[in-house]
Structure 1
């Protein structure tokens, strides 16, 4: 069975976004979890998907120009992810979204469909987020691994990664690595 692997960039206090509605402390949205060679599908929540589609469509269209949403020139890792993502199936867990402009996007209506996706042949699946869908899929017992990049920042009163989790979950530490600039990469298996 394929593994569902969640990868998220969080603050030290477990937050996934600042007051503007996104993790404003993250300088680039590169795939920094080491998943690109391991996965062949991406799952996102319906709340996150519209911004994801807008961000990566603009970056893919003009990778050598400042991004219209951030004003920053895309990092090389972001350009690499946009190329990978453009050819990789995306599954959006949403009861309300009906259409998408991003290539190869399909909609899932309930967590049972994520379980069915895990049973299909293929590589592992990258659960990109957001926080609500990640917590709900952990509660449903569908997430196999959690890869976090922790930023040395206390974000304060904003959205917590596990703010909507309904129950306690045991984790098994698999790896810890110190990264530049005080970041820490942590990998847990859900038991």
Structure 2
């Protein structure tokens, strides 16, 4: 059975929206404010995570974001690893061929539960705030990996906008990344 791992870049106040400023929210681009040492350390952690993954799961908008940012044609070990992983995209419409390796469209939550049964190993979820909300609400996520940035955005879409009940977690790891980032790992359930 697979484990669904939610891997998010998040500000201190829980904002996940517009980390690179592409959405033009006026509160975005906080990801770009970190220094080179932090960015290099972040990339190393992300690459290590990709090496441990068996598949990627994402929403349609996050999938499109990765394609806009050129991940289908990037070079390097990290890009090669992501390209080699099977990708599962939750979408109500079909996707056109994207050149980013094996991509399967999942129509809904039942297909995600089935995917979790079929894949052995880690199924990593990047971005995909709407999907993450559903995974947490339906108790399908097993772990949170929160790369926490030393900024308070003050506004924007938050990782946890609301749940129907308290969702218990257990802190299983803390790690300083670079000079200013903190990776917090929680087990869900």
Q: Give the TM interval when normalised to the shorter protein.
A: 0.7 to 0.9
The correspondence for 1:149, drawn from 136, 147, 150, is: 147
Instruction: Map residues 119-130 of structure 1 onto 2, 5 A cutoff.
Output: 119-130=117-128
2:54·2:119 contact (CA, 8 Å) conserved in 1?
Answer: no
Unaligned 5+ segments in structure 2 are 33-38
Q: Which 4+ runs in 1 deviate beyond 6 A?
A: none
2:147·2:184 contact (CA, 8 Å) conserved in 1?
Answer: yes
1:60-95 deviation digits (Å, cap 9, x = unpaired) = 2xx4xxxxxxxxxxxxxxx33211011111000111
Shift of 1:166: 4.0
- Bigger share in helix: 2
Question: How many residues in Structure 1 have an aligned counterpart in Structure 2?
Answer: 174
Q: Which residue matches 1:169? A: 167
Distance in 1 between residues matched to 2:164 and 2:68, nearest whole Å: 31
Unaligned 5+ segments in structure 1 are 64-78
1:132·1:164 contact (CA, 8 Å) conserved in 2?
Answer: no
3-state DSSP class of the match of 1:4? strand
- Say whether 1:26 aligns with 2:39: no
Per the normalisation by structure 1, the TM-score is 0.81
The alignment's C-alpha RMSD in Å is 2.2
Per the normalisation by structure 2, the TM-score is 0.82
Q: Which residue matches 1:118? A: 116
